[in-house]
Amino acid sequence: MKFIDTTEIFVASGKGGSGLVSFKTARNMPRLGPDGGDGGHGGDIVFTAAPQLNTLSSVRYKCRFVAENGVRGGTSGKTGRCGEDLEVGVPLGTEVYDSKTGRLLCEILVPGQREVVAEGGRRGFGNLRFVSSTHQAPEDYVAGQSGREFDIRLELKLLADVGLAGLPNAGKSTLLSVLSAARPKIADYPFTTLDPQLGVVELKERGEYNLQSFVMADIPGLIEGASEGKGLGHEFLRHLERTKIIAYIVDAFPIDGVEPLDTLSLLQSELTAYDKKLAAHKSVVVLNKCDLAAGEEGGVERLARLKKAVEKRGHQVFVISGATRIGLVELKEGLYELVQEERIRFEAELAARLPVIKGLMSAIALGVEGHGMKNFTQAIKDGRAFAYGAHPA
């Protein structure tokens, strides 16, 4: 399935059911009193977390999402049925924007999260509501409130614990394939990986029934100028924004002769140019293809000097070979400990943010004033209250 990380859709919540003008009747007693019931509320458009999804393709190919309208009130004071809410499942890491204003409406970050993006119209009132001691046979009613409809832009930023950043052919896909059950395309030419790939890395060395694991993402290779849109980097750099740890994959023995330290500087400068906050993420440096050291004259000494030079820059360094699986256990153990530290910090930050995110979903925050039915006078001002037979429809 093609990886889709941005799309636009149309959403419309249901219209509220109108109130009914009705009077009780019996044989030879035509008007025993009003009995028109209220309408039902319109259905909401609700975005829900769907952890089993990892792309927005499920919503891209159904671009219109319309909730059910509320049903008109019935006789004998019966309330109309409320319209069913329409739930739209999206992957974790999805951001929901108003296409017209560009405003962030909500973020889907945790399993079980539900966000009301478009509230359904409120119900109208039947004539039974307007009975009083001086108004025994009212023919007034309130029409149901219209729902909200607008275009929404969805952006997916993958939620991974560790993101692999490196130049094309640095060995990122090979590393992901040997650490997890993921099977990304691997070949000896640049830009083999065209879409982000996810894999679950399990620490099976700690026991057969050990449940400790983390999610690793292979991001398509970066090149110089990626932050300005060159290559594939700019398109997928957003997926590194939510990773807890960035692992810079550096080819220790590149065939083009470029200095590994220069490669590391290039990767860091591209992330800084794209977003300074992204460059500030906790990171490690993985020197890959160390198995080639034995085949080059002075290769072992050169690798040792390189490791020491990178450590002087303040980075934690892992020396590995994805092809021969050298150093992978130490890499998994080290990344897992760092991920656990960041998970604690991330969960504390998320707990502080979610109430604010949910607050954006209120009618007032969305710019819908007078969303609820307060009283009949307000309904008249809104143009939703009518004498019987005077409804424009």
Which structural domains are found in the chain, ordered by start?
Answer: 6-156+362-387 (2.70.210.12), 162-351 (3.40.50.300)
Q: What is the pLDDT of residue 99?
A: 92
Residue 287 sits at φ, ψ, to 5 deg, of: -85, 110
Angle at 229 between CA 224 and CA 234, to 5 degrees: 85
- In three-state form (DSSP H/G/I as H, E/B as E, the rest C), the secondary structure along the chain is CCCCCEEEEEEECCCCCCCCCCECCECCECCCCECCCCCCCCCCEEEEECCCCCCCHHHHCCCEEECCCCCCCCCCCCCCCCCCCEEEEECCCEEEEECCCCCEEEEECCCCCEEEEECCCCCCCCHHHHCECCECCCCEEECCCCCCEEEEEEEECCCCCEEEEECCCCCHHHHHHHHCCCCCCCCCCCCCCCCCEEEEEECHHHCCCCCCEEEEEECCCCCCCHHHCCCCHHHHHHHHCCCCEEEEEEECCCCCCCCHHHHHHHHHHHHHHHCHHHHCCEEEEEEECHHHHHHCCCHHHHHHHHHHHHHHCCCEEEECECCCCECHHHHHHHHHHHHHHHHHHHHHHHHHHHHHHHHCCCCCCCCCCCCCCCCHHHHHHCCCEEECCCCCC
State the CB neighbour count (10 A cutoff) for residue 217. Answer: 25
pLDDT tens track, the chain, 393 positions: 344 478 899 999 999 999 999 988 877 766 688 989 999 999 999 999 888 777 787 787 788 999 999 999 999 889 999 999 999 999 888 889 999 998 989 888 888 888 999 999 999 999 888 888 888 888 888 899 999 999 999 988 766 788 888 887 778 888 888 888 666 554 443 444 456 677 778 887 665 555 677 888 887 756 554 444 444 445 566 667 778 888 999 988 888 778 889 989 888 887 888 777 777 788 899 999 888 888 788 888 989 999 999 999 999 999 998 888 889 989 989 998 998 888 777 667 666 655 444 333 333 333 333 333 334 455 555 555 554 445 444
Closest listed residue to residue 199, CA positions, set 223, 226, 225, 172: 172
Cα–Cα dist 356/46, whole Å: 17
Q: What is the pLDDT of residue 234?
A: 52
Q: What is the pLDDT of residue 374?
A: 39
Alpha carbon of 180 to those of 88, 172, 197, 237, 242: distances in Å?
30, 12, 11, 22, 20
Interhelix angle 299-312/260-274, nearest 10 degrees:
30
Is 118:15 a contact under the CB 8 Å cutoff? no
- 289: region left, alpha or beta (phi > 0 left; psi from -120 to 50 alpha): left
Compute the radius of gyration of the chain from its Cα atoms. Answer: 30
Is 93:158 a contact under the CB 8 Å cutoff? yes
Q: What is the pLDDT of residue 341?
A: 86
Is 192:272 a contact under the CB 8 Å cutoff? no
Residue 38 sits at φ, ψ, to 5 deg, of: -80, 155
Q: What is the pLDDT of residue 48?
A: 92
Q: Any idea which residue has 């009914």 for tokens?
A: 20
Q: What is the pLDDT of residue 356?
A: 42
Is 230:238 a contact under the CB 8 Å cutoff? no
- 133: region left, alpha or beta (phi > 0 left; psi from -120 to 50 alpha): alpha
Q: What is the pLDDT of residue 221?
A: 57
Closest listed residue to residue 163, CA positions, set 258, 236, 262: 236
